[in-house]
Structure 1
């Protein structure tokens, strides 16, 4: 288990792998983001994308799952304060496979709780061609192993 004291600014990790399929893209969009370019292949061909694409919210949710499975499960995570600078940079299409790249960009101790540290990560979802398709700054909280040191 990694605690606040165990991580350093500049550390970078890559993890996870998830392939998007057409049926899942449509199912997610019909429930949460029913815009035609996410739900209807014919309408999507007439859109700015020219083909069916995943909702950015689905892309974010998939990235969150990879983040939990490949990164946070080994950390003394205390959740997050939110995200900054969420950007959908390129559309995700059926058949695309993403992984996550995480870089610690800031860390500091909480002024109000000696058991908590703040660890901010620049997160990127990267497709099979090495293109960043989504990015954000995760404003994480981590447990301090020994607040009395």
Structure 2
């Protein structure tokens, strides 16, 4: 796929709509079974006893769902050079079966790299909301992008 998004395409305050994804009971239990098999993610009775009203998604599952939206709506067509890592992640509310999650990313910083003139780094805050428009997760993460002149 041709890369159409470069470092120069971002400005501080810019918001990128990343779309949405449903969350099902099967998705929660499948992820938990494979990657985070704690009872609160697998057994509705344990989730209820914990005051959650049934099973909820693992925070890492929620991050994976958000990352899929980032890949599909931004990174798949961006000249991305990776990321040095997530600086902060906050799980704000439980994600439940039936939730419909929507992701947005806001550019919080945009800086050309002196050490690598072919790259720039863009800081983002990603916010994931549920169907009631309540935030369920946020993360802060920088992403490296090629500079347009370097790609030419």
The TM-score normalised by the length of structure 2 is 0.92
Aligned-pair CA distance for 1:48: 3.4
Aligned-pair CA distance for 1:134: 0.5
CA deviations over 1:70-101 (Å, ceiling 9, x no partner): 12223211111111110000000000011111
Between the aligned partners of 2:107 and 2:77, the Cα distance in structure 1 is 15
Structure 1 unmatched ranges of 5 or more: none
Between the aligned partners of 2:17 and 2:132, the Cα distance in structure 1 is 15
Between the aligned partners of 2:16 and 2:142, the Cα distance in structure 1 is 17
CA RMSD of aligned residues (A): 1.1
Equivalent residue, structure 2, for 1:127: 130
Aligned residue among 4, 7, 14 for 1:4:
7
SS at match of 2:148: coil
Q: Which structure features the higher share of strand residues?
A: 1
Aligned residue among 28, 33, 38 for 1:35:
38
Equivalent residue, structure 1, for 2:64: 61
Equivalent residue, structure 1, for 2:84: 81
Aligned residue among 90, 97, 100 for 1:97:
100
Aligned-pair CA distance for 1:62: 0.6
Equivalent residue, structure 2, for 1:70: 73
4+ runs deviating over 3 angstroms = none
SS at match of 1:120: strand
1:118 maps onto 2:121 in alignment? yes
The TM-score normalised by the length of structure 1 is 0.94
Residues 43 and 54 in structure 2, CA contact (< 8 A), matched pair in contact too: no
Structure 2 unmatched ranges of 5 or more: none
How many residue pairs are counted as aligned between the two chains?
A: 147
